[in-house]
């Protein structure tokens, strides 16, 4: 095992800084997408933009580019081009500190997932130089609107990619850890209804929706639940004038679990606890839930693991399957039948103004996965 290739580290650093300095909040990714497209086209790849931009009201769709190869497999390499919203009024100013690229402490970095974008571009470039017969066909997919509910991936025609396996480079875990199981997630809305009445003249005629909602919150399975499930209420809205017994309160939250069965059980608990909480007060609670994305569990003998495992020792990578309580575009690829894992790239403190990443680790991912893709 050799140390990281210094030329590769330098290239990745330049590429990452350039991408991070270009704003791309969800649904406004045009500028970064244009850079990615220009680079891929300069390498002679045909780049296609799908209809996700128009469908979602964004400034660009997902980008899809193919690098043909002589091996029979078609392999998706994916990263999302959008980031969480930048802090208003603060320039994007990534700071280079040796091999580390970090924020200046006042603005986001967006290595989530510009690091993944840089990796996919480097992998395409590396395999372009590999013998045709040694490489599979690469299908590079740059998704939009990941941070606002995997919406770009949801709008993507996964079947049309005709791929056999996929790698997403969006893992907030150390290099070597591969996220191959993740949760099912459901949005939960609880509408608590009481009865309006004048708060001073006829308070006894009212049914107090805020008081009832408080009981719903008290009975709600908030936080970590048995079996690795978790639920939250994140928003409350309702009420009106201070002299009126309020008749309606809205509670918005979510529930996550690693299996369909556990999630359904948790949702039943939410329904039952809400009904039990409001009944003594004469109020009603209407619980509505909606699947945001499906979970997945890719077995360790599935194709993505076999490819990664073969090349791991030569790069000092200790492969480990891990589970994530968060979602990523990996959820959507798996739900559409494409066995896909989310490769850890060593992101730290994502979605914050303290985010940082070690470019040496990104170089290790590129070298390792590059070898995995060419079967060396």
In the complex, the residues that contact Zn ion under the rule CB under 5 A are 112-113, 170
> Least distance to Zn ion from the beta carbon of 170, Å?
4
> Least distance to Zn ion from the beta carbon of 152, Å?
12
Judged by CB, which is closer to Zn ion: 112, or 215? 112
> Least distance to Zn ion from the beta carbon of 180, Å?
16
Please tell me the distance from the alpha carbon of residue 317 to that of residue 302, in angstroms, as a whole number: 18
> Least distance to Zn ion from the beta carbon of 327, Å?
10
Our measurement of the distance from residue 82's CA atom to the centroid of its chain's CA atoms, rounded to an integer in Å, reads 10
Q: Indicate the Cα dihedral angle 246, 248, 254, 260, nearest 10°.
A: 140
For residue 266, CA distances in Å to 64, 234, 269, 323, 333 come to 38, 17, 5, 19, 25
For residue 251, CA distances in Å to 215, 216, 233 come to 12, 9, 7
Judged by CB, which is closer to Zn ion: 142, or 220? 142
Q: Indicate the Cα dihedral angle 121, 350, 302, 151, nearest 10°.
A: -80
> Least distance to Zn ion from the beta carbon of 146, Å?
6
Tokens of 10: 């330098």
Judged by CB, which is closer to Zn ion: 148, or 314? 148
> Least distance to Zn ion from the beta carbon of 38, Å?
23
Strands (E), 47-116: 47-49, 63-67, 74-80, 95-97, 100-102
Please tell me the distance from the alpha carbon of residue 168 to that of residue 68, in angstroms, as a whole number: 19
Judged by CB, which is closer to Zn ion: 112, or 186? 112
């Amino acid at each position: 095992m050799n140390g990281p290739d210094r030329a590769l580290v330098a290239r990745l650093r330049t590429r990452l800084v350039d991408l991070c300095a270009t704003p791309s909040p969800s649904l406004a990714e045009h500028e970064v997408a244009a850079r990615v497209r220009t680079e891929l086209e300069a390498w002679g790849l045909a780049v296609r933009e799908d209809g996700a931009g128009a469908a979602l009201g964004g400034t660009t769709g997902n980008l899809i580019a193919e690098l043909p190869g002589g091996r029979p497999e078609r392999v998706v390499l994916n990263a999302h081009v959008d980031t969480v919203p930048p802090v208003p009024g603060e320039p994007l100013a990534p700071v280079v500190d040796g091999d580390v690229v970090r924020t200046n402490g006042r603005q986001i970095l967006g290595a989530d997932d510009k690091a993944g974008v840089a990796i996919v571009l480097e992998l395409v470039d590396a395999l372009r130089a590999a013998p045709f017969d040694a490489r599979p066909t690469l299908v590079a997919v740059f998704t939009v609107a990941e941070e606002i509910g995997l919406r770009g991936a949801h709008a993507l025609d996964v079947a049309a990619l005709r791929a056999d396996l996929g790698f997403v480079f969006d893992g907030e875990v150390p290099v070597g850890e591969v996220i191959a199981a993740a949760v099912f997630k459901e949005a939960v809305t609880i509408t608590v209804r009481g009865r309006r009445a004048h708060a001073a003249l006829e308070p006894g005629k009212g049914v107090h929706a805020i008081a009832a909602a408080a009981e719903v919150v008290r009975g709600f399975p908030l936080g970590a639940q048995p079996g690795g499930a978790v639920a939250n209420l994140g928003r409350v809205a309702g009420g009106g004038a201070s002299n009126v017994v309020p008749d309606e309160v809205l509670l918005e939250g979510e529930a996550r679990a690693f299996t369909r069965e556990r999630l359904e059980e948790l949702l039943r608990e939410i329904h039952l606890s809400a009904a039990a909480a409001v009944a003594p007060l004469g109020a009603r609670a209407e619980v509505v839930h909606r699947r945001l994305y499906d979970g997945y569990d890719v077995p360790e003998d599935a194709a993505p693991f076999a490819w990664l495992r073969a090349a791991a020792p030569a790069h000092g990578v200790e492969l480990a399957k891990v589970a994530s309580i968060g979602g990523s575009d990996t959820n959507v690829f798996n739900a559409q039948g494409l066995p896909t894992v989310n490769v850890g790239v060593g992101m730290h403190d994502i979605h914050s103004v303290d985010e940082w990443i070690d470019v040496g680790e990104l170089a290790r991912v590129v070298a390792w996965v590059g070898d995995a893709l060419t079967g060396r």
